[in-house]
């Protein structure tokens, strides 16, 4: 009997040991199902504006909760320092210069809904790939990637033509011109010049007419009439666009339909939140992608009465706290629907805060923490280093900080991989899949070099020297701050990319961000033994990168950015474009 019991025990133990040997080491679970994906993107938010990145005057408990329950990136880099090119790179995983979405002139973003430039139809966004993988895809909020190419309804640049199955929001971007009580923001100085020229022409016409009547000078009525007609045509040529910015740019759309023209700003926040919650509810039974592209915290800082005066950082702080509340509402819905453990949530900003945005003593732009520079400055960290937070309970570790260079372009391959899609092989994708880094299976980012463009002009290059831990950055071009030493271009309102407003450096300014993240003290050949070696290595990488660039149509050329009446979205018969279809609901 004892012999039989011994044999029975051995027959049980042997397969048990064999099974244990086959078990993988204890790591985070493997990805077997397609997750829901929720992408939050703030507008003009500085990295220093939220609590988990060091702010103690603006309350952001919901964004901070994401960081506690997930992974916080401390070197998350935007591919451009302005909205249009940064978002183009985010959507395509490619530097904006590859798609023609970086400018050769001073018009560095989409300027009109009635312009012909925009994200080219031949670009493949991550939304398009996820849609092909069976995802319900939705964009709620800001687009700013163009609408039409050749007619008012071809919608070649529209979100629905780029993989989003549902769109509700602003095809443009929020600007102060959208509110009648705010001073104008769009092309402010240029409009002042146009008014001046119009007044001069009007005065000249009146002077010649009076001179003709009184006989002081010999001038024909035909000449006076021609001058009057020219003055009138000149006025009409610019006032037909700039005089009606609220109607042409400040509109809301649902899919291809204009629903508000001009938009009713008092209810915009509640409608965007309602649409976001509704999208989750409609699609909770299948994988979905929700890109909630906030209008916060771009001027004119639309803030509901509930949040006005509640922060310790003025109207800007009120606006950020309202955005955080909106994040919380969406997270609550995700949890209520039982989707928390099957949803990857991501939060970021499109670029750094706008330092120059002020009205009198009011600071209306964001704070970029310890980092130098801000919005529109491609090289300085304050313009491109942004918050980056991921949460996916059970799949990503909680309360984790990663201090490795990553890019907004990395979202593209990351979500495509999670959805079971394939990265396009017919083009260069500059982003890298972040899941190994986020899950801790690798220790270093795949990025060795990152290139920092201001329009089509390369201003700086970052080299992640992984064996030493150094993060070198060489500045070839920097903006000239005004007034001198001010840290921003207050005299211009925004820093330029080229011309007299920039300084070219030869040799380039060199910093090691691992030792000097504020870029306070440039290194020299006398203070850094590796100076020449580093500059030469970055130079070779830059040449290699430039060889990968191919000529493409310039989407932000003057022709493409100018207003064209025949391309203007209109909810009536042009030029009688006004409606409020949300008010009819």
DSSP 8-state symbol, 163: T
Query: Given 205, 224, 242, which residue is the final one in a domain?
Result: 242
255 with 219, same domain: the answer is no
503 with 433, same domain: the answer is yes
Query: Given 242, 265, 280, which residue is the final one in a domain?
Result: 242
Strand partners, 170: 142
525 with 379, same domain: the answer is yes
464 with 378, same domain: the answer is yes
- Tokens 């509901």 belong to 304
pLDDT of residue 30: 57
Q: Tell me which residue range forms the domain holding 327.
A: 74-174+250-576
Handedness of CA 327, 333, 338, 339 (dihedral sign): negative
Give the CATH number for residue 375.
Answer: 3.40.720.10
- Rounded to the nearest 10 degrees, the angle between the axes of helix 314-336 and helix 61-68 is 50
Q: Do 117 and 570 contact (CB within 8 A), yes or no? A: no
CB atoms within 10 A of CB 15: 9
pLDDT of residue 2: 43
125 with 152, same domain: the answer is yes
User: Would you please indicate which residues are annotated as catalytic (active-site) residues?
Assistant: 83, 144
Cα-trace Rg, the chain: 27
268 with 411, same domain: the answer is yes
Q: How far apart are CA 48 and CA 35, in angstroms?
A: 30
**24 is a domain residue:** no
200 with 283, same domain: the answer is no
pLDDT of residue 188: 84
**266 is a domain residue:** yes
**302 is a domain residue:** yes
Strand partners, 254: 168, 257
**507 is a domain residue:** yes
Query: Given 225, 242, 259, which residue is the final one in a domain?
Result: 242
Q: Do 381 and 513 contact (CB within 8 A), yes or no? A: yes
340 with 441, same domain: the answer is yes
Q: How far apart are CA 447 and CA 463, in angstroms?
A: 8
**583 is a domain residue:** no
DSSP 8-state symbol, 444: S
Across 224-354, the runs of DSSP E, i.e. the strands, are 252-254, 257-261, 288-293, 343-349
509 with 467, same domain: the answer is yes
Intervals of the chain under pLDDT 50? 1-27
406 with 262, same domain: the answer is yes
**518 is a domain residue:** yes
Structural domains in the chain (count) = 2
142 with 198, same domain: the answer is no
In terms of Cβ atoms closer than 10 Å to its own Cβ (0-12, 13-18, 19+), residue 339 is: middle
**50 is a domain residue:** no
484 with 355, same domain: the answer is yes
**432 is a domain residue:** yes
ω into 8 cis (within 30 of 0): no
The Cα-based distances of 577 to 184, 188, 259, 571, 574 in angstroms read: 21, 24, 11, 6, 6
């Amino acid at each position: 009997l004892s012999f039989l019991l011994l044999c029975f025990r051995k027959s049980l133990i042997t397969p048990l040991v064999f099974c244990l040997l086959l078990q993988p080491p204890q790591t985070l679970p493997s990805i077997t199902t397609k997750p829901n994906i929720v992408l939050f993107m703030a507008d003009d938010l500085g990295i220093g504006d939220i609590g988990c990145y060091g702010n103690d005057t603006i309350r952001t408990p919901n964004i901070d909760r994401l960081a506690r329950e997930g992974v916080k990136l401390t070197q998350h880099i935007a591919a451009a320092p302005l909205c249009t090119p940064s978002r183009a790179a985010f959507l395509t995983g490619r530097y904006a210069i590859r798609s023609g979405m970086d400018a050769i002139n001073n018009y560095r973003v989409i300027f009109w809904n009635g312009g012909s430039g925009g994200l080219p139809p031949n670009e493949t966004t991550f939304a398009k790939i996820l849609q092909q993988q069976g995802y319900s895809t939705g964009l709620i909020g800001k687009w700013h990637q163009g609408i039409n190419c050749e007619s008012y309804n071809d919608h070649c640049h529209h979100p629905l033509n780029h993989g989003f199955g549902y769109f509700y929001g602003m095809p443009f971007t929020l600007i102060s011109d959208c509110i009648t009580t705010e001073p104008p923001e769009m092309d402010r100085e240029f409009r002042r010049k146009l008014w001046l020229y119009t007044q001069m022409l009007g005065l000249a016409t009146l002077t010649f007419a009076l001179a003709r009547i009184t006989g002081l000078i010999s001038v024909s009525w035909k000449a006076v009439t021609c001058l009057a007609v020219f003055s009138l045509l000149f006025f009409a040529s610019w006032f037909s666009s700039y005089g009606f910015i609220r109607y042409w740019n400040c509109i809301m759309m649902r899919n291809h339909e204009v629903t508000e023209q001009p938009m009713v700003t008092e209810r915009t926040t509640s409608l965007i939140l309602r649409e976001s919650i509704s999208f989750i509810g409609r699609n909770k039974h299948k994988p979905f992608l929700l890109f909630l592209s906030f209008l916060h915290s771009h001027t004119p800082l639309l803030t509901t009465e509930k949040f006005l005066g509640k922060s310790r950082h003025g109207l800007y702080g009120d606006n950020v706290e309202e955005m955080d509340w909106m994040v919380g509402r969406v997270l609550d819905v995700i949890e209520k629907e039982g989707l928390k453990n099957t949803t990857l949530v991501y939060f970021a900003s499109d670029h750094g805060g706008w330092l120059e945005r002020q009205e009198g003593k009011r600071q209306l732009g964001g704070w970029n923490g310890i980092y130098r520079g801000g919005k529109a400055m491609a090289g300085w960290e304050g313009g491109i280093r942004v918050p980056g937070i991921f949460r996916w309970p059970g799949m990503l570790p909680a309360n984790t900080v990663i201090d490795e260079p990553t890019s907004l372009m990395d979202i593209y391959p990351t979500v495509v991989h999670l959805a079971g899609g394939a990265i396009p092989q017919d083009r260069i994708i500059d982003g890298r899949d972040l899941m190994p880094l986020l899950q801790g299976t690798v220790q270093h980012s795949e990025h060795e070099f990152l290139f920092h463009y201001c329009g089509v002009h390369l201003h700086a290059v970052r080299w992640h020297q992984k064996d030493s831990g150094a993060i070198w950055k060489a500045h070839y071009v920097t903006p000239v701050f005004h007034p001198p030493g001010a840290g921003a271009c207050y005299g211009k309102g925004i820093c330029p990319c080229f011309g007299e407003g920039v300084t070219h450096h030869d040799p380039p300014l060199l910093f090691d961000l691992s030792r000097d993240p504020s870029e306070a003290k440039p290194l020299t050949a006398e203070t850094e033994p590796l100076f020449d070696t580093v500059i030469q290595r970055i130079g070779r990488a830059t040449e290699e990168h430039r060889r990968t660039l191919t000529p493409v149509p310039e989407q932000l050329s003057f022709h493409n950015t100018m207003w064209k009446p025949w391309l203007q979205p209109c909810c009536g018969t042009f030029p009688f474009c006004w409606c409020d279809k949300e008010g009819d609901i």
